[in-house]
Amino acid sequence: MADGDAGLMIDAVRAIPRDELSVKATRSGGAGGQHVNTSSTRIEISWRPSASRVLTDEERVRVADRLASRLDGDGTLRVVASDTRSQAQNRALAEARLAALVRKALVVPRKRKATKPSRAAKRARLEAKKRHSEKKRARRPERWD
């Protein structure tokens, strides 16, 4: 997942340097009995995409747009993991989640290619409309004017 020297790998080419990440361990809720009250196993990782050296200006804008609902007022992205009772496992989970979020945000959507319905599709649609209207017309009572 994450190599100490390379930073947090986002994809095959990019890695967030460790000095850009802020890691904080706090007490976790949930199962664990008395252990929960004494150990800080919940991990919170913070990262500011706008100040990152890894991303280009275009990528910063894309990440900010795609993750706008997850960024706080300072433009910081926070990821939390408290799934396990192990601090190391929670750190690995939080790093994986952060990498997945950034990887997904960096994907450039393909341009939609405009198409039009084929002649056969138009004909089939009109035939279906005629059948439907005929069915409705057949249900009407006869009028004897």
User: pLDDT digits over 68-110, tens only?
Assistant: 888 888 888 899 998 888 889 999 999 999 999 999 998 888 9
* pLDDT class of 5 with cuts at 50, 70, 90: low
Write out pLDDT tens, residues 23-63: 888 887 766 666 666 778 889 999 988 888 888 899 889 98
Given a cut of 60, whether residue 2 has pLDDT beyond it is no
Residue range 2-106 in CATH 3.40.50.720: no
More reliable by pLDDT, 121 or 13: 121
Structural contact between residues 86 and 41, judged by C-beta atoms closer than 8 angstroms: yes
Distance in angstroms (rounded) separating the CA atoms of residues 35 and 40: 9
Statement: residue 64 has pLDDT above 50: yes
pLDDT the model gives residue 1: 46
Question: Which range (3-7, 16-20, 93-97) has the least confidence?
Answer: 3-7
Provide mean pLDDT across the span 103-130.
94
Indicate the domain borders of the chain. Answer: 2-106
The tokens for 116 are 């039009």
Contacts with 43 (C-beta within 8 Å, 6 or more apart), sequence order: 23, 24, 25, 80, 81, 82, 87, 90, 91, 93, 94
